[in-house]
Amino acid sequence: MLEIDSLTKQFFGLTAVDHVSTRIEQGQITAIIGPNGAGKTTFFNLIAGTHAPTSGRIVFKGQDVTGMRPDRVARLGVARTFQTTNLFDNATVLDNLIVGHRLRTHSSLWDVLINSARLREEERLCRAKAMEALDFVGLAHVANRIAADITQEERKRVAFALALATEPELLLLDEPAGGVNPEETVGLAELIQKLVRHGKTVCLIEHKMDMIMQLADKIVVLNNGEKIAEGTADQIRRDPHVIEAYLGADHAAV
Amino acid sequence: MMALRTRWPWFVLLAAAIAFPLFAANTYIVSVMSLAFIMAIAALGLNLITGYTGQFNLAHGAFMAVGAYTVGILTTDYQVPYWVAFALAGVTTGVLGYFIGILSLRLKGHYFSIFTLCVSYIMYLLIEKWESLTHGTVGIMGIPAPTGVGSLQFDTPIAQYYLALAFLVLGTFLMSRIVHSLLGRAFMAVRNGDLLAEALGVDLMRTKTLSFVLSVIYAGFAGALYAGQVRFLGPDVANESVTFDLIMFTLVGGVGTLMGPLLGTLLVTWLTQSLQFLQDYRMVVFGPVLIALIIFLPDGIVGTWLKRRARRADAAASLKAATAQGATTATGTETRHA
């Protein structure tokens, strides 16, 4: 689904991502792991178009998207979540989600000023999509709660819903379980599996190893911007480079 | 039913505004009120870019001056009819706003604000120094009142009052459509965060520029009405203190709410008017009141009220859902940010 070829990003001489090539397969969960500062988030920023790569190529469903603007990439069907999601705290959760489907609509300023039938239809659609996404992540009951009043875990789920409302094929999740407790992490892992069951492709960055090991079909390990290993959970567990560079001595026995 | 439940404050305000001149003791306070309406139109515009789109524009007052000077120059030096000049004031500020927008909106956060503050000062200097066009510090005198339309004449303070009110109602109505639409939601997405907005497919530059242009067009029309009502213009109208007044109005009422800038403008105008008897000491009272408002009501008056209403609606809905046993949360409590 997504082919990445020799992707490199340099910031003023610092190489954040260094000739990384990999593939994200349709219908699978690919995890990007690596120590802090390994270049994981930069890697996401390159795929999503937030930064243009210094060199290399990104091909999404056969189309070259290298250096494409983020809003265009989103339109093509790549959604992402961030480590923290800024919501408008004074509005309801549902209100916050409605904008998610805007990119699939066509109403212009003129439609807005005359309140055209097309606009009303598209607003109804966006509201329905938002509700559907909220239902999917299991938060239908907080639809009318104001965003300031929801828990950290609910916020994570709202971020998923927001990404889902864009009707993506590929979801890039940046630390989807960061800052939530172990039981909630299990719930979020189940949600990620549910996404895949519904035909989505997932690529995630995560530090919680237990979660990654049981969830990921493929793990890509980055260290200092370079890909040092790639494979299934079992392969990664046994990989000497990974043990040395990332998991540390106490994991060597596993 | 729905409309009446959430929109009654609007009807109360409108009724009060229509009735006001009948009870006003003299035409002076009617004029004060209609100037407040004009400022409220400008504040509505400022709130679009600052409150809804999150870009703190400090040149808003200067755009109001551009609108005012467009009318002033065209009607006095070129004998253009008032309403033609009025329309051109909107066009001029819109076009100028587009070019300043695509330059300044490349900057983020404080840098954007500082840039626009400089823009504001440059416009002030231009108005003050470009004597052949703007008459410099002498100013523009004898601007005609808005010409009558049919049997309607706008040469009395009361007629001017209703004219300003009519534009305020129209401006509010259109603004309500904008901010409650998908377009408005895109503006709010930009305010919540550039990165997330982009990831949701919002074209940042286009969206910000559109908001900026719409916002300054409001300022332009407000300035045009101001010129027709005050009938005299000096470089002072481009002073940055106008922008700061507009920001204060918006903050007091509630940033990012539709009614906030309106209510804020009217309240602050009345407060300053009723403190007139204190003369120079009025700031001693006014300052602390303002600070208290910002500390205790950071969302402004309207923002605080809306938040409470949304919480209550949700609590009521949860209660209803709980009693209905297993019924899902009511969807009928849709809250709009009024």
- Shared-domain flag, residues A8 and A72: yes
B337 vs A70: CB contact, 8 Å cut-off? no
CB B286 within 8 A of CB B272: yes
Which residues in chain B have Cβ-Cβ distances shorter than 8 Å to A171? none
Please compute the mean of the pLDDT values over residues B313-336 and round it to a whole number: 60
Q: How far apart are CA B246 and CA B40, in angstroms?
A: 8
Q: How far apart are CA B72 and CA B93, in angstroms?
A: 14
Q: Which domain holds residue A45?
A: 1-77+168-254
Residue B33 CA to chain centroid, in angstroms?
15
C-alpha to C-alpha distances, B249 to B40, B210, B244, B252, nearest whole angstrom? 8, 23, 9, 5
Burial of A10 (0-12, 13-18, 19+ CB in 10 A): middle
- Shared-domain flag, residues A192 and A247: yes
pLDDT at B62 over 90: yes
B328 touches chain A (CB under 8 A): yes
* Mean of per-residue pLDDT scores for chain B: 89
Q: Could you identify the residue written with the tokens 């539709």?
A: B258
Which residues 179-238 of A are in CB contact (within 8 Å) with B?
Answer: none
Which residues in chain A have Cβ-Cβ distances shorter than 8 Å to B311? 146, 149
- Shared-domain flag, residues A135 and A152: yes
Give the three-state DSSP class for B318. helix
- Shared-domain flag, residues A18 and A129: no
A39 touches chain B (CB under 8 A): no
Which chain B residue has its CA at the smallest distance from A73's CA? B201
How much is the pLDDT for B329? Answer: 40
B200 vs A100: CB contact, 8 Å cut-off? yes
- Shared-domain flag, residues A5 and A51: yes
Q: Which residues pair with A231 in a beta bridge?
A: A219
Give the pairing of strands A218-223 and A29-33: parallel
Q: How far apart are CA A245 and CA A224, in angstroms?
A: 10
B26 touches chain A (CB under 8 A): no
Q: Could you identify the residue written with the tokens 């989807």?
A: A176
Q: How far apart are CA B103 and CA A91, in angstroms?
A: 31
Indicate the number of domains in chain A: 2
Q: Could you identify the residue written with the tokens 């000049």?
A: B85
- Shared-domain flag, residues A60 and A181: yes
* C-alpha closest to that of A177 among A192, A198, A193, A199: A192
Q: What tens digit of pLDDT does each residue of B233-271 get?
A: 999 999 989 999 999 999 999 999 999 999 999 999 988
Q: How far apart are CA A55 and CA A66, in angstroms?
A: 9
Chunked mean pLDDT (size 10), chain A, 254 residues: 92 90 94 89 93 94 93 94 86 92 93 94 95 95 90 92 95 91 92 95 92 92 90 89 70 49
Q: What tens digit of pLDDT does each residue of B17-32 get?
A: 999 988 888 889 999 9
- Shared-domain flag, residues A64 and A115: no
- Shared-domain flag, residues A47 and A12: yes
Q: What tens digit of pLDDT does each residue of B129-163 get?
A: 999 999 988 899 999 989 888 777 888 889 999 99
Instruction: List b or e across B67-95, with b for residues whose CB sees 16 or more CB atoms inside 10 angstroms.
Output: bbbbbbbbbbeeebebeebbebbbebbbe
Q: What tens digit of pLDDT does each residue of B285-317 get?
A: 888 888 888 888 888 888 888 888 878 887 887
* C-alpha closest to that of B94 among B173, B12, B211: B211
Which residue among A132, A165, A198 closes a domain? A165
CA distance A249 to chain B (A): 38
Which alpha helices (DSSP H) does chain A contain, by range?
40-48, 70-76, 93-97, 109-114, 117-136, 152-165, 182-197, 209-215, 233-238, 240-242
Which residue among A165, A191, A216 closes a domain? A165
Which residues 70-89 of A are in CB contact (within 8 Å) with B?
Answer: 70-71, 74-75, 79-80, 82, 85-88
Nearest to B203 among A71, A80, A109 (CB): A71
* pLDDT tier, B5 (very low <50, low <70, confident <90, very high otherwise): low
How much is the pLDDT for A251? Answer: 54
- Shared-domain flag, residues A153 and A179: no
Percent of chain B scored above 90 by pLDDT? 64
Please compute the mean of the pLDDT values over residues B194-208 and round it to a whole number: 94
CA distance B199 to chain A (A): 6
Tokens of B70: 């467009």
How many helices, marked H, and strands, marked E, lie in chain A? 10, 10
- Shared-domain flag, residues A213 and A178: yes
ipTM score: 0.89
Nearest to B329 among A80, A91, A143 (CB): A143
Percent of chain B scored above 70 by pLDDT? 94
pLDDT at B99 over 80: yes
Which residues in chain B have Cβ-Cβ distances shorter than 8 Å to A79? 199-200
CATH code: domain of residue A194: 3.40.50.300
B199 vs A80: CB contact, 8 Å cut-off? yes
CA distance A241 to chain B (A): 34
pTM to 2 decimal places: 0.90
C-alpha to C-alpha distances, A4 to A19, A44, A90, A226, nearest whole angstrom? 10, 11, 40, 13
Backbone φ/ψ region at A179: left (φ over 0), alpha (ψ -120 to 50), beta: left
- Shared-domain flag, residues A71 and A8: yes
Which residue among A165, A190, A212 closes a domain? A165
CA distance B190 to chain A (A): 10
Burial of B327 (0-12, 13-18, 19+ CB in 10 A): exposed
A121 touches chain B (CB under 8 A): no
Find which of A46, A51, A82, A90 to mutate to test the B interface (most B CBs within 10 Å of its CB): A90
Window from B85-99, B189-203, B289-303 with minimum mean pLDDT: B289-303
Q: How far apart are CA B215 and CA A36, in angstroms?
A: 43
Give the three-state DSSP class for B153. coil
- Shared-domain flag, residues A63 and A179: yes
